[in-house]
Amino acid sequence: MVLDTGSDIVWLQCAPCKKCYSQSDPVFDPRKSSSYAGIPCDAPICRRLDSPGCNSRKRTCLYQVSYGDGSFTTGDFSTETLTFRRTRVARVAVGCGHDNQGLFVGAAGLLGLGRDTCFDLSGKTEVKVPTVVLHFRGADVSLPASNYLIPVDTSGAFCFAFAGTMSGLSIIGNIQQQGFRVVYDLGGSRIGFAPRGCA
């Protein structure tokens, strides 16, 4: 699949094709899968789509995504079990694309990695997370996990506290700044960061 950090829908070409481009492997046929299931139109995950639709006959969710280069995909928004080597992940939301056109160069679909990602950490007594560092000219700011993974409920769900931007402007938000003392040197046109500078 094509890896794309600029979009957030995982989709693959599905039979029957209204229009599919040529791909290297056989086109996925959901009718041959026992774990494939359509998502109801009134499901919260369907309503969170940018352009949700509804199959009035089946009462199942439809999706559509357009990309900056003119490529697009439309089809059924569904759940499926994905297997990564020996690890099975059930009920992953995927787009089952029946009309797909664009420059996908033989790939079976697209793995959208743009949605700022949540994790179920319930029942965990210790969690190791990657180090996140903001690199500035003359200063590196290493963020504690609490400055980029935030709890979203009382059941152990944490979400990545970064959001994409469509412009060249980036904002260091209040979550990233918590616990840091920020020093401004107006005369020297410099800025500095002191970790654990606030109670």
Instruction: Give the count of domains, the chain.
Output: 2
pLDDT bracket for residue 172 (50, 70, 90):
confident
Q: Are residues 171 and 96 in the same domain?
A: no
Mean pLDDT of 23-40: 95
Mean pLDDT of 114-138: 85
Check residue 33 and give its pLDDT. Answer: 96
Final residue of a structural domain among 56, 77, 112: 112
Check residue 166 and give its pLDDT. Answer: 67
- Predicted confidence (pLDDT) at residue 105 exceeds the cutoff of 80: no
- Predicted confidence (pLDDT) at residue 199 exceeds the cutoff of 60: no
The torsion of the CA quartet 35, 41, 44, 46, rounded to 10 degrees, works out to 80
Which DSSP helix (H) or strand (E) runs through 175? helix 174-177
DSSP 146: G
Print the domain residue range for 79: 2-112
Q: Are residues 93 and 123 in the same domain?
A: no
* pLDDT tens digit sequence for 9-20: 999 999 999 999
**Model pTM score:** 0.62
